[in-house]
Structure formats: C-alpha cells, structure tokens
Amino acid sequence: MKIIKRDGHMVDYCPEKIEQAIMKANNEVEEEDKASATQIKNIIKYIEGLGKKRMLVEDIQDIIEMKLMSIGKFTLAKKYITYRYTRELVRKSNTTDLAIKELIDGESEYWNNENSNKNAKIVTTQRDYLAGICSTDITRRFLLTDEIVKAHDEGIIHFHDADYFAQNALHNCCLVNLEDMLQNGTNINGVMIEKPHRFLTAVTIATQIITAVSSSQYGGVTISLTHLAPFVRDSYNKYIEKYKNRKLNKEQVEKFAKEDLAKEITDGVQTFQYQVNSMTTTNGQAPFLSVCMYLGETDEYKDELAMIIEEFLKQRIEGMKNEKGVYITPAFPKLLYVLEEDNIHEDSKYWYLTELAAKCTAKRLVPDYISEKIMKQCKIDKNGEGHCYPCMGCRSFLTPYVDPETNKPKYYGRFNQGVVTINLPDVGLSADKDFDAFWKILDERLELCHRALQIRHKRLSKATSDVAPILWQHGALARLGKGESIHELLHNGYSTLSLGYAGLYECVKAMTGKSHTDPEGKEFALKVMQRLNDKCKEWKEAEKIDYSVYGTPIESTTYKFAKCLRDRFGVIKGITDRDYITNSYHVPVFEPIDAFEKLRLESEFQKLSPGGAISYVETANLTGNIPAVVEVIKFIYDNIMYAELNTKSDYCQKCGYDGEILIDDNMEWYCPNCGNRDHNTLNVARRTCGYIGTRFWNKGRTQEIKERYVHIDNKDVGE
C-alpha cells in the first residue's frame, strides 16, 4: 500500500508510524484511558484490511480517531487529535522557521531582492520582515481559507501583503488630506501640532505627517503641493511686514521680501527632500511617497504653487549625494506632474515648468505625467462630471466621489483597502484555446478573487479609529471620535477594493497565438478587461463597495507567477519561457513597437483599468535631446491618462562611470567601464513597476529589465 502525503508525493505504508503516533498520545493519559497493544494492532489490522492500494495520510488519521472512540477511548482520541493538530502547526511553521533563518543569515536571494527599495541587511528592515514572516504565517493558518491559500501557493491568484494582514487595521495606500491637517492642526504621537504660519514650518510638519501615515499603513502615500502653497503667501507677508517695519520704500520692501521668500522656498524644499529620503518608517524603509504638482487644483494660490513646483524640479534635477558625495538619482519622492492648458503649450503661462519637468525626466526619470484632459474623459462621476486627481503611490487610482455633505468632489483623505490579483496567463493556459472553457474558468477564478477580497474587507471593517489616530482621528483620512468604527469609510465609494490582474499579454497569446498589439489579439484582450469590469460592477451593486480593476505592479510576484506557470504547464515558447510575466495590460517589454503607437494602444486599456494603471516608454539617455522628451509629453497630454519615460541614471563608485550599468547573460549587473560587480558600489536607478528602484531586483525582474526594447533612441525624435 502507498500513502499519499500532504504535499502530494507517495511513500510506502509503514504500520510502525501508526503505532508510534498512538503511543505518543498514550503517554499523556491516565492508565485506564490508554489503548492496549492489542487494541493498537487491531486498528492497524483494520486499516490494512481495507485492501486499498493508496490512501491519503489524512484518511488514515481520521480512521484512527474513529476507532479509538468506538472502543471508548475518548480521552485518548482527544489527545490524539491534539497531537495531530500540533503536528500540523509544526509542519506549517517549518517554512516560517526556514524563512526567518534565511533572512537572518543574509544569504537569501529572495530576501535580498524582495523589494528594490529595501535593504534586507539593515536591522530596521529585518525587523519589518520578521514581523511580516509571522504575519504571513498567521494569515495562512488562521485568516484565509484553504482554497485561497492553495490558489495563492499555486500562483493562480496572489493575495497581496499577507505580511501585514494579521493586523486588522492596516490598509493599502492613500491620498493624505494634508490641507486639513495643516489648516486645522493635527496630533502626532500625542503631541498637538497647531497650524503653521510659514512655509518652512509647514514643510517640516508635512514630512512628519508623511512618516507617521506611512508607518500606519503598508502602501504608497501621496500628498499635493497645492496644500503647501498658502504658507508661501504667509511667509511672503511676514517678510513684507519685516521690511515695512524697517521704514524701507515699497520697491525695496518687495525686492527684499521676494529674495527672502525665494531662499525660504529653497530651504524648505531641501528640508523636504532630506527628510523624506533619510527618515525610516516602521516598515523599514523611506516613505513610499508621491508628490502631486497640479496647478489646476487652485486659482487663489497658483503662483505660489508654481514657485514650489519649480524649486522641486530644480532640486530633483540636481539629485542627492551618495556616500561618495556624488549626485545620484533618489528613489523618492515620486513626482506627478499634471499636464493642462496652463502648461502644455509654448505660449502657456507655466510652459517654463513643463520645460523644466522635461529636463528633470531626462536626468532623473521623474516626474511622471497625468493628462488632465484625458483623465477627465476617463474619470466621470454619477453626475457626468469629469475629474482629475493624483494616484495613490505609484498607480492606484480612486474612483470619482462626490461628498454627500458638501456636494463637491473629494479625493484627499481617501484610501484603498487592499488588492488580490488574478494570474490571467494561468486562465488562458488552463482553457487551452477553448473559448467557452476560458470564460467559465475566468469567472470561477474571479469569484475566488472576490472571496479573498471580501476577507480583506471584513478584516479591515473590524478596526476602530483608536488603532491609528493619525489616520482616523487627526485628519489624514478622517476626523472620527475615539473608539469610532471606520466601517462607514469602507462603503459607498469612499474607499476602493482592488481586483488586480497580471499577464494580459501572455493570456491573449495562449488563447489566440497573437499579441494584443495584433487586431485579433486586441479584440480578445479588451473583452477580457471588460469582463473584469463587469464583475466589479456586479459586486459593487450587491455590496455597496467600490471594487475596481487594477493593473497590478507585481515587482517580485512577476517572478513567482512565471515559475508557477512553468511548473503547471511546462515551457511554452513566448508564454512561459521567461522568468517573468508582463505587468498588467502592458505591451511585452521585448516587443518592438513605436513609442507613440505603444502609448496610443495602451490608452484603450487604461480606460478599462480604473483602479490603477500606468504606461511607459523606454528611452535611451535623452539629456542631450530634451525636444524628444517634450514631444512625448505633448503626446501624453492628447492621448493617454498617465504615463512615464524610463531612462537610465547610474553611477559606478569605483571608477566614476556615469553611463548605463549593464546586465550580463547571467543576470548580473556590471560596470562596462571597469567591470565592477559589487552592488554596494554600484548606484543603479530603474523604473521597476511605477516606482524607481535603487536596490536591485530578483532574477525575473532583472531579466525583464535587460530585455526592455528601447522605444526612443536619443536621435529618434525631437532633434
């Protein structure tokens, strides 16, 4: 007889193991409750007498429990059940023990490359990872159903952020209501922070708020510079009063006040940059911060806002010094520059800012660009009004929302509850070109994602405002009372719950044999995206929760999904023969395509990805060809909601080389000038999945970076 173990492999039947298991339980009960040697042998004979060629180990254990109770050994049966459960816990925690050991040893490729902005050798990061390992263990054993854990392990879906899920109070990402917190005061760690009265103070408080908020959630954080603009005017008025009191004439007063204000803005922005990049959150990293630059958010303080934007761009172009004192590209903050009529044409009032943004993008990979015009066509509320607002973090977008109390649009103070992602290539390969089977499997998998998302929602709904006062009581997301439930903020469109998806290209390839850049493949791809949206609409109407389709930025999961697909379906050319799958709806990185055609095509998919989307074009070094950057920016404004340009920004500390650091055929990074391969002395900045990564990547993501087709050479356009 063969025994089928829990992991699926078979071993020879061994009666001695049954005897040993019962004897261990025997040792923990009184004499009268013990099973005799004869009784144990009779149980073994019964199992062998069933005449089965194969048995599941769980079935044998069930039989032992049943037979012990049938002979009146109820106490012994209870001990045996406890023993069995304890063994189950040990089995499941073995992977936890191993993960902890690998992390602490510092030799694990997984942990060292799990996040391209985290250093797994630093104690603060290790502490976060250790907590995450324990959270993941608890999540798997107690909080998720077996079907979801199994689907997650097999790469059929991905239950995101299990390393933070054990705490029921943690949500994903948000738009911080910095305006409320600065204008009305806030409280950080029990200390009242009153309204500031000058720009430099407001900036300092803002960085403290950002760190506190980032430490109370696990996703990206976005603030708007618009909320700092009023304090520029406050500072200017103080300088005016200062020089008036010195009895200077009007011309002198204004001249000196403007000079002092310019210095304060410079100092304030520098303070912001240093604080954001030097502070560490409880997640063991710098805040995953995005900063919105949207002139259209204010009429009253537009000129002051323009001053702040200009200084942010100038300082970002300069960069920040590394340990060698050389200016390099920092990962944060991510800059979001909104294109609008006031800044998109050469004769626009703020065109000079767009020119500066283009230079910054060519040198430092940011800002990324949001088209106000296209976004207002995509983000339409129930009244038919279009909206423009920033993403939360790198790409997660809220749905339009009109505050029922004010009847005005509201974005800041809202958040995302979490993400579960479907592996679309697995659906396509499972269907094996049978379209009827495809839609059936897709619907089944989507319902599995739905159940997983409901678990996320229900867990978060248990939280009260006390768990994170900075978020729920002191203005970042709400002004609830102590002990008040956050339940209402999870419904009726205030926050979102994201149905993520990955690998649309591979899914289409599996079903049609073509890319979604081909008309036939594109038609099918759009139908798949529409099905995802239809399901979210169905769930939303039934539950009053804003489910939203989200193009997942799967940094490390792209590698995991690729390996799982290969394990399940073998090596299939063009689908499973790489160590990564394609992010969201993107054209695969290796497919040659014109930059403008890529953006035009992907714009159709952005409309069907309302919960999160970003597109990009890969470029050579364009610092000497700014007109090319400007041409792409103008195209973005007219054609696509949200896009970025991926250039290179590297430095070798050993030889001073500042060209592109390369990747060899073994997926190892090296300096082409001196051959340096030491990650500790190579500064590499690459767009990973919305954010800039600076701490290297796993082999799957590294292969994806290596194979990226360059859509714009430095002589392609603009010169």
Q: Rg for the chain (alpha carbons), in Å?
A: 29
Query: Is 134 annotated in the active site?
Result: no
Query: Is 555 annotated in the active site?
Result: yes
Query: Is 690 annotated in the active site?
Result: yes
Residue 409 three-state SS: strand
Query: Is 416 annotated in the active site?
Result: yes
The one catalytic residue among 555, 602, 631, 644 = 555
Residue 156 CA to residue 150 CA, distance in Å, equals 9
Q: Answer yes or no: are the C-beta atoms of 701 and 559 closer than 8 Å.
A: yes
Query: Is 538 annotated in the active site?
Result: no
Query: Is 674 annotated in the active site?
Result: no
Query: Is 655 annotated in the active site?
Result: no
Residue 129 CA to residue 121 CA, distance in Å, equals 11
For 648, the token pair is 């290179």
Amino acid at 620: A
Nearest to 187 by CA among 477, 473, 414, 485: 473
Residue 485 three-state SS: strand
What beta strand segments (E) does 639-681 contain?
642-646, 649-652, 662-663, 669-670
The one catalytic residue among 235, 396, 603, 609 = 396
The one catalytic residue among 375, 392, 511, 652 = 392
Amino acid at 175: L
Residue 367 three-state SS: coil
Query: Is 505 annotated in the active site?
Result: no
Encode 106-130: b = buried (16+ Cβ within 10 Å), e = exposed. Answer: eebeebbbbbbbbebeeeebbebbb
Residue 682 three-state SS: strand
The one catalytic residue among 113, 135, 172, 683 = 172
CA distances from 163 to 133, 136, 167, 169, 173 (A): 6, 5, 9, 13, 15
Query: Is 396 annotated in the active site?
Result: yes
The one catalytic residue among 80, 113, 115, 173 = 173
Amino acid at 21: A
Residue 122 CA to residue 125 CA, distance in Å, equals 5
For tokens 């060292």, the residue is 112
What beta strand segments (E) does 589-631 contain?
615-618
The one catalytic residue among 503, 690, 693, 700 = 690
Residue 320 CA to residue 330 CA, distance in Å, equals 6
Interhelix angle 595-606/519-543, nearest 10 degrees: 30
The one catalytic residue among 181, 320, 394, 564 = 394
**For 627, left (φ over 0), alpha (ψ -120 to 50), or beta?**
alpha
Residue 101 CA to residue 48 CA, distance in Å, equals 41
Active site residues: 172-173, 392, 394, 396, 416, 550, 555, 690
